[in-house]
Chains A and B, each alone.
Chain A
Amino acid sequence: MTVATEITLRYFAWIREKTGRAEERLTLPPTLQTVADLLAWQATRGPEFADAFAKPGVIRAAIDQRHVKPASPLAGAREIAFFPPVTGG
C-alpha cells in the first residue's frame, strides 16, 4: 500500500500553451501505473487538456528530469514533465 503523495507536473512549448500552465502540484490517481496511463488520464481533465493530450504519440516525457518511455513506471516520481520532441541546436 502506497501513500498518495503530491507531485509536480511541468509543461513545455505548445503543451504549456494549450494547458495554460507551466506547472502544477497534484496527487495522481493510484490507478495510474505508467507514463502512458498518465498521458491518457491527462486528456480527460477538461477541454484544454483534451486538446493538449489529444495525440499522446507526439508527446515526450521526463521523470525527475530524465527522458522516459511510455511504458516507464510512475512509482517514486517527484516531478514529471511533458513536452514535444526537442528542437534545440
Chain B
Amino acid sequence: MAVRVQTQDFDIAAEIAALTADRTDIGAVVTFTGLVRGTAAGRDLVSMTLEHYPGMTEAELEAVEAEAHARWPLQASLIVHRVGELQPGANIVLVITASPHRHAAFQAAEFLMDYLKTRAPFWKKEKWADGQTAWVDARETDATAVERWTRSTS
C-alpha cells in the first residue's frame, strides 16, 4: 500500500514494474489513469491547476486505500495524484490494484477512484483560452457513484 502526492509526472509501466517486482503470487493488475481534457462544451482549456490540503490529503488517500484492502483480497496497491498546473493531455491521477484474480482488482480500482473523488481534499481550477478562470464544481454524479459501495461490494 502506498500513496503519493507530487508535482512531477508518473511512469505507469515503471510503477507497475515496481509493484510486481520479485513477486509470483499476483495474478491481476488493474490501472486507472485520469488525464486533463483539453476541451469542454466547445471551449479550449489552457491548463488545470490542482490545489490540495497537505497532510489531510495523504491521510484520506491512505484511509481509502486501507478500506479497499479490507473489502477485497488485494496484494498491492498504489495511488499517485499530481498537484500544480497541468496542461491538456497530462496525467492527473494513477490508481493501481493487484490481486490473485481480476474481479477484486477491477472493483477495488473503481472503488478507490469513487472514494478519492468525494473525500480527498483536492480542488481543480481551470484556465480557458478565452481568458476566463473558474474553480471546478463538484459533480452530483460523483456523490451517487460512491453511494453504491455502501450497498454492496459484489
Binding site for B on A (CB under 8 A): 10, 12-14, 62, 65-67, 81, 83-89
Contact = CB atoms under 8 A, between A and B. Distances in A.
Interface of B: 34, 50-53, 55-56, 59, 81, 92-93, 113, 116-125, 135-138, 142
A10 B135 CA distance: 18
Given A88-B117, A89-B113, 17 more contacts: A12-B121, A62-B56, A62-B121, A65-B56, A66-B56, A81-B53, A81-B121, A84-B135, A85-B137, A86-B118, A86-B121, A87-B117, A87-B135, A87-B136, A88-B50, A88-B124, A89-B93
A62 B81 CA distance: 20
10 contacts: A12-B51, A12-B123, A67-B119, A84-B135, A88-B124, A89-B81, A89-B113, A89-B120, A89-B122, A89-B142
Contacts of A83: 53, 121, 123
Nearest to A60: B121
A6 to B, nearest CB: 19
Nearest to B134: A14
B85 to A, nearest CB: 15
Contact of B123 (A65, A66, A86): A86
Nearest to A14: B135
Nearest to B32: A89
Given A12-B121, A14-B135, A89 B53 contact: no
B142 to A, nearest CB: 8
